[in-house]
Amino acid sequence: MVYHAINSSDFVGLRTLLGGRKQVVCEVKNGRRVLLNICDPAASDAKIDEALKEGITAQNVLRGVVSALLARNIPVDFANLTVRRQPFS
């Protein structure tokens, strides 16, 4: 599941890593990519999907996604902090 903001280039998505761990990918202004580990392996995809749909509509997408996940009792951990995508040469 991947969602793009209507009024910006921000997007969020859910991916499953090797071993079944889930991770939310948020790409926000200026190409910043923030990865959020879902700490609860029992968190349902449906609840995460609801949170992503809600968060992508926020003015600050990252804050909106984190708030929406926490409101649904889905704990997250920052896997990285502010990684900038490098353009291809």
Q: Is residue 14 part of a domain?
A: yes
Task: Convert the pLDDT of each residue in 44-63 to its tens digit.
Answer: 999 999 999 999 999 889 99
Total domains present in the chain: 1
In this model, does residue 75 exceed pLDDT 70?
A: yes
Q: Is residue 53 part of a domain?
A: yes
Q: Is residue 28 part of a domain?
A: yes
The whole domain housing 67 covers 2-84
Q: Is residue 63 part of a domain?
A: yes
pTM of the complete model:
0.83
Q: Is residue 89 part of a domain?
A: no
What is the arithmetic mean of pLDDT over 26-44?
89
CA angle 55, 26, 49 (to 5 degrees): 45
In this model, does residue 10 exceed pLDDT 80?
A: yes
* Nearest alpha carbon to residue 4 among 22, 24, 27, 21: 27
Task: Compute the chain's Rg from CA coordinates.
Answer: 13
